[in-house]
Structure 1
Amino acid sequence: MKVLHLITGAETGGSRKHVITLLEQFGREEAVLAVMHEGPFAEEARANGIRTEVFAQSSRYDLSILNKLVQFIRSENFTILHTHGPRANLFGIYLKKKTGICWVTTVHSDPALDFVKSGIKGKVFTALSMYAVKKMDGYFAVSERFKQNLMNLGIDGRKIQTVYNGIHFTDEKAAPVPRRELGVEEADFVLAMVARLHPIKGHTVVFEAMKAIDEAERPHLLLVGDGPIKAELEKETARLGLDSHVHFLGFRSDVDQIYAAADLALLASYSESFPLALLEAANQRVPIVTTDVGGVKELVEDGSTGWVVPVKDAAAYAEALRQAIRRQEEGQLQEMGEILYQYASSRYSLEQLEEATRAQYERLLRKQK
């Protein structure tokens, strides 16, 4: 078995973390990473011992790399192509046709929502992406709920394997970034939200929830990530009068240390599969407020290890934040984080990720013989 993982290489969010942590579990000759951009993703993969090949595009519409990929697959005798993301999935159609390779994907987001707010071009790309997703030989769903979503698209459930995301859980918390370096004080109630600045991530719902909380107890929000709507979000915080409470930190490589400096972790997405960011928060013993997406209810027990609220419901989100603040005042929030850590570390390990992924690969190869 030899697997080629194909992804654009421009990702900065959970899919990037997922791919790198997954490939670290396989040997250099078993799994190879192919990206379409040289940059931080490729550098991080190499630093983690992953063989990484760059098939550079002059633009996202440059299709000249397709024949190079075909030649690479044939010359290296890959048996499985594992694509990640809409562009890689589209390219997979051609690569499958030319090589006959066994083709699988991990769907990291709802393909129907990948190109929201992108106009007519977005509608075209969405249609192409939905077409590609239905052409694979096998699928990885990172929660049972997301497996059902794929089946609702008409995909045969027998082709889908639920494989929970995993991370390396540590025995101790990370050393927190000093709060003053992040623009907050020791006495502040601090929220950390690690997410691309993209419409689907629901940042504005969090802003509205914060606005609904009395200014005297209003929390501070650390936003980790970058993306296409940064300027739009900055304008929204100004409009709501939240400038002094929302801190745009950009892309950071010290996410663990930022979570360790926070009191609460947030997810407000309209759609997700199973966010790695929540596992990273759990590893730092930080309770979570999350929207009810993907497999989050398989991790967060409402009222015990965090709060699960309806999607796009700013009022419910604000109430969850108020409850978290009360728990902090009563000295109970830290205990919630410890319970979350114990549960997550026993269920979402890298070992289970590797074993389940390898088993699906082998099952599909046997089926093709």
Structure 2
Amino acid sequence: MRVLHINAGLENGGGLSHIIGLLSQFPKDEVELLTFADGPVAAAAKKKGIKVKIMGKSSRYDFGLLKELVAYINAGDFDLVHTHGARANLFLSLIRNKIKAKWIITVHSDPRLDFMQRGVLGWLFTKLNIRSLKKADGIFAVTQNFKNVLLALGIAENKIRVIYNGIRFQTVVPERQPHDKFEIVIVGRLHPVKGHSILLNAFKEAAIKEAQLTIIGEGELKNDLQKLTSDLKIDQQVNFTGMLTQTEINQYYLKTDLAVLSSLSESFPLVLLEAANYGVPVIATDVGDMRQLIPDDNYGWIVPTQDMIALKTALLEAYANWQTGTLQPIGDRLRVHAQANFSIDNLCQSTIKGYTVFLSTNM
């Protein structure tokens, strides 16, 4: 079985980790990655020894590459083409009838929200992405919730399989670094869907003098969030790091007491699995099948989306546990549960099974 994975190439964060983590588990002669741009995805793949084809297009929507894309796919004798991201989905939808391989999409995020707050262009790209999803031979949804969204959009149930994200867990967690503050971290794009402003307001209302909040990531809301931090008069307790490598993020986890996910919508978040890998307890909004990761309050906190009061309450409860030394055991239990259920091996085996099913099915 030969599979060509396609991505625009500019992904960071969870999308990049998912693609590279998955491809690195397959034999090198069975998988290949094609990116439209020479960016972080291609760079990460090369480091893992994955074969990469870079189209080298500077324009985000250079439709001149369609003919080249058709030729490359057909000449490579691929059984499957597996796309990740709205731009890759759109391009494959335009050449679907010209390629011999079957086409699978992984839906990493809610397609109705990918282009939120982008005006008329956002509305148009949302429509085009949903149209692309309906043309694929099969779809891997990373949560049951996303499967339900796809069903509501009119996609046939027999074309959808739920495959949860997974990572490679450490055998032994490195020794934690001593620190004096109650250290909180949030990792993710500075984008409206991530809910950073709700967290900042909850952090302000919690008024925990010993707390330090670190915000890791870049994005369109950076200036707005920094201004909000200043307006709330919490800028002495909030640190914006910008974009960090995974290695740098892991170093933060060694001195972090609590990880937060404040998103309005989310896939099954890799950032929380990465926090769990270091035994860091989490507060998360009720998104992305979160209860699969946090089945009850022995494993962390789940709060409603856009509920600042509930998030403030969870922060205060976690802080009280930190003061009494009962917070870290929650993170330890979370790690054991996550490792048993959301490993990279589980992801790989579920993906292979999905490939086999779709290859044997006449759509």
Aligned to 1:49: 49
The answer to whether the aligner puts 1:200 opposite 2:193 as a matched pair is yes
Structure 1 Cα separation of the partners of residues 47 and 270 of structure 2: 20
Q: Output the amino acid matched with 1:234.
A: Q
Tell which deviates more after alignment, 91-100 or 63-72.
91-100
Instruction: Give the TM-score of the pair, scaled to structure 1.
Output: 0.94
CA contact (8 A) 2:11 2:40 kept: no
- Is this contact kept in 2: 1:291–1:308, CA < 8 A? yes
- 1 CA distance for matches of 2:174 and 2:136? 40
Partner residue of 1:358 out of 348, 352, 359: 352
Residue 256 of structure 1 pairs with residue 250 of structure 2: yes
TM superposition shift of 1:132: 1.2
**8 Å CA contact retained: 1:191, 1:265:** yes
Cα distance change on mapping 1:36 and 1:175 into 2, 3 Å? farther
Aligned amino acid, residue 197 of structure 1: L
- Match for residue 277 of structure 1? 271
Q: Secondary structure at the match of 1:82?
A: strand
Deviations along 1:231-261, whole A, 9 cap, x unmatched? Answer: 1211111111121111111111122221221
Match of 1:304 in 2: 298
CA contact (8 A) 2:81 2:104 kept: yes
SS of 1:64's partner is helix
Instruction: Note if 1:101 corresponds to 2:94.
Output: no
Q: CA deviation at 1:100?
A: 4.0
Q: Which residues in structure 2 correspond to 1:115-134 (within 5 Å)?
A: 115-134=115-134
Deviations 1:238-295 (A, max 9, x none): 1111211111111111222212210001111111120111110111001110000011
1:153/1:237 Cα in 2 relative to 1: closer, same or farther (>3 Å)? same
2:33 & 2:95 partners in 1: Cα distance?
15
Give the whole-Å Cα distance in 2 for the aligned partners of 1:8 and 1:191.
32
- Is residue 2:6 matched to residue 1:6? yes
Supply the RMSD in Å over aligned alpha carbons: 1.5
Q: Is the 8 A contact 2:4 2:81 kept in 1?
A: yes
| 1:194-250 CA-partner distances (Å, limit 9, x unpaired) | 101111111111001001012534x21111111122112111111111211111111
CA distance in 2, matches of 1:265, 1:31: 34
Task: State the Cα distance separating 1:344 from its structure 2 match.
Answer: 0.7
Instruction: Please say if residues 56 and 65 of structure 1, whose CA atoms lie closer than 8 Å, have aligned partners that are also in contact.
Output: no
Q: Unpaired segments of 5 or more residues in structure 1?
A: 180-185
Moved over 4 A (4+): none
Please state whether the residue corresponding to 1:154 is helix, strand or coil: coil
Q: Distance in 2 between matches of 1:137 and 1:210?
A: 45
Q: Which runs of 5+ in 2 are unaligned?
A: none
For 1:306-345, list aligned pairs within 5 A: 306-345=300-339
**After the TM superposition, which of the residue ranges 194-203 and 55-64 deviates more from structure 2?**
55-64
User: Residue 280 of structure 2: SS of its match in structure 1?
Assistant: coil
Distance in 1 between residues matched to 2:57 and 2:135, nearest whole Å: 24
Is contact 2:6-2:83 (8 Å) kept? yes
Fraction of identical pairs, as percent: 41
> 2:148 maps to what in 1?
148
Distance in 2 (CA, whole Å) between partners of 1:125 and 1:41 is 22
- What's 1:183 paired with? none
**How many residues in Structure 1 have an aligned counterpart in Structure 2?**
361
2:228 maps to 1:228: no
CA shift digits 1:126-148 (9 cap, x unpaired): 11112112221111122222222
Does structure 2 retain, via aligned residues, the 8 Å contact 1:301–1:307? no
Give 1:22-171 correspondences, 5 Å limit: 22-171=22-171
**Residues 117 and 247 of structure 1: is their aligned pair in 2 closer, same or farther, counting only changes over 3 Å?**
same
- Segment drifting more, 152-161 vs 111-120: 152-161
How far apart are residue 61 of structure 1 and its match? 2.1
Which amino acid letter does the alignment assign opposite residue 332 of structure 2? E
**C-alpha distance in 1 between matches for 2:116 and 2:134:** 20
